[in-house]
Chain A
């Protein structure tokens, strides 16, 4: 068995005339945490459904655990844990029952599930909600339950589609912590997200996707190094003046991005650049120096921001 758990070459999915995923290539290695980063509509979820062996590809090669999902869907799905974008829990059943029936779908015995469910309740911090109906849970609890549910079969690959969308900051951090633990336990993670901080936190390696295609691939640090500069100076002159100022600022650095609400200047030293801005007699309403992020990589690659 090769080390690559997921192998895609020229993977394509069309819905009629619309190409949702357009010939993407990537490999996911055992034990790593791999991310698909891109805005809504980039084709991430469609790619996830093909990898999840539920949606058939239009063309290209795809193997998961060395098997073709078109021929061995159930055999592949037996080893995947899927956390969909929408928590499709059974709202008529309790927390414990949701874990139980899901385990049964994998053919697991009642005896095994009895112990497993206790472990998962503890992992998801839902012990006190064990008999609560799903409807009564908060968004963060539902998300943790959906992740716990995906772990009931001890999957080789855990697939998370936008795991923290719609959660408050505290709930996101709890979730990230749980996912870190899984990684430490050797679970291979495949994550889609349109949050660059999430991708930086969770992914060893990622691909940046836009309009169904892969724009770049690498570790977060490598991508930032390759496609951006060390620091970013953000200036705001007020929405009226931003466009006007951008032309004048271009003389001060090699790369400038002009956004509706602010101007981004890319540089190796943000403070030094800011000094030069003032010396030239420019007076921004606000200024901020920060480190480059994947957001900047995406902006560079596509000319657009991640969250529209």
Chain B
């Protein structure tokens, strides 16, 4: 039943400059603590996802395609080599979204934890960045595990296959930052789940040249791929892993596009978080 006798006072013990410099990392630390509680689930998803894809698409669809087109029949390589960068990027994006959309909805709406963070020296910018860093950690974790599973399955025949990890992470980071901003912007989370997920995210996955080259699409549908971080990351990944044919300007375009989405997503997240917390 103690009184707080050791009290020195915040003027002595709190260093606002330290929080100004490292605040985002404190947010990440807290998010990681919550994430660790779900670690078994995160690991299960990260492993089950590639295992299921590789069995169903790799063994099923892949061998069917390779039988019909020859072992080097898709873009000059086996179907799984063609597919690997796209699958990796897709998984990375899913990991990034789990760790950016849900914490954002929770922080603003479900538990309002962002408001308690903002009552401390932490700023809206730092909270936004802390959530992003955590999502980036999850993205990297997911991409690396996915890649290791592919390695185990022996589907990575290119010696440069591991480069796809980087393009997958770029896709996850860009998409995660953008969706974090959107989740912060939409005050009604149902809009996110019913409209954004079904009519924006789903088509982006289906029309991003994931399972076949984007050029197989009629031209009036190809624009969906052009605005999708997944397509840009996949194209970069294919060039890096097996040297698919691609012009230098296009390489730059893919690179610049992904980084632009990342930067736009982060700037928007920071602004939206700061504005919504300051209402």
A interface residues (Cβ-Cβ under 8 A, vs B): 52, 54-56, 73-75, 77-80, 82, 84, 86, 88-93, 97, 101-102, 104-108, 112, 115, 119, 122-123, 125, 149, 151, 153-156, 181-182, 184-186
Contact = CB atoms under 8 A, between A and B. Distances in A.
A75 B121 contact: yes
Contacts of B18: 107
Nearest to B5: A185
B10 A78 contact: yes
B278 A77 contact: no
B278 A56 contact: yes
Interface residues of B, number: 43
B278 A78 contact: no
A208 to B, nearest CB: 26
Interface string B1-32: 11111111111111110111011001101100
A107 B30 contact: no
A154 B121 contact: no
Given A92-B34, A92-B37, A153 B26 contact: no
B116 A102 contact: yes
A80 B30 contact: no
Nearest to B37: A92
Given A74-B122, A153-B10, A156-B10, A123 B4 contact: yes
A154 B122 CA distance: 17
Interface of B: 1-16, 18-20, 22-23, 26-27, 29-30, 33-34, 37, 111-113, 115-123, 277-279
B156 to A, nearest CB: 36
Given A75-B16, A105-B19, A106-B19, A84 B115 contact: yes
Contacts of B279: 55
Contacts of A56: 278
A191 to B, nearest CB: 16
A73 B278 CA distance: 11
Contacts of A108: 13-14
A115 B115 CA distance: 26
B14 A185 contact: no
A182 B29 contact: no
Given A78-B14, A119-B2, A90 B120 contact: no
Contacts of A90: 30, 34, 111, 113, 116
Central interface residue in A108, A154, A156, A185, by most chain B CB within 10 Å: A154
B120 A102 contact: yes
A269 to B, nearest CB: 42
A48 to B, nearest CB: 10
B14 A54 contact: no
Given A97-B33, A101-B30, A154 B7 contact: yes
A82 B120 CA distance: 8
29 contacts: A52-B119, A54-B119, A54-B278, A73-B123, A77-B121, A78-B10, A78-B19, A79-B14, A82-B119, A88-B115, A97-B33, A101-B33, A102-B116, A104-B30, A105-B30, A106-B10, A106-B14, A106-B19, A106-B121, A107-B26, A122-B2, A123-B2, A123-B3, A151-B4, A153-B10, A154-B13, A156-B11, A181-B4, A182-B4
A80 to B, nearest CB: 7
B30 A89 contact: no
Given A78-B15, A84-B115, A112-B13, 13 more contacts: A73-B123, A78-B16, A79-B10, A90-B116, A92-B34, A105-B121, A107-B19, A107-B26, A108-B13, A123-B4, A154-B4, A154-B9, A185-B3
A74 B116 contact: no
Contacts of B117: 105
B278 A119 contact: no
